[in-house]
Amino acid sequence: MPLFIAALAFLLPLAALFLWRHLRPGETPSGWLVLAAALAVALVLGGALHYGLNRSMERGERYVPATLTPER
């Protein structure tokens, strides 16, 4: 399921672009729309950076892999 969501998140903006180009072939997007898209990209990148920095291991911390134990 996460792979499907990731593929959908990647393909949805492309589909929106192709739909825009098909429905309005000669028009360019407004400046506000471009600004909103740039802001959305900046927010996504900032969120990814924040998540990566908060979930990373500290330098020198020992990695302990998960183990499966039999259920009782």
Q: Residues 35-51: pLDDT tens digits?
A: 888 898 899 889 889 98
Question: CB within 8 A of 29, min separation 6: which ones?
Answer: 20
Q: Give the Cα-Cα-Cα angle 16, 50, 65 (nearest 5 degrees).
A: 105
Chain-wide mean pLDDT for the chain? 84
pLDDT at residue 72, as a whole number: 66
pLDDT score for 42: 92
Torsion of CA 38, 17, 19, 15, to 10 degrees: -110
For residue 1, is pLDDT > 80? Answer: no
- Looking at the predicted structure, is the pLDDT value of residue 25 above 70? yes
pTM of the model: 0.53
- Placement of tokens 């990209």 in the chain: 41
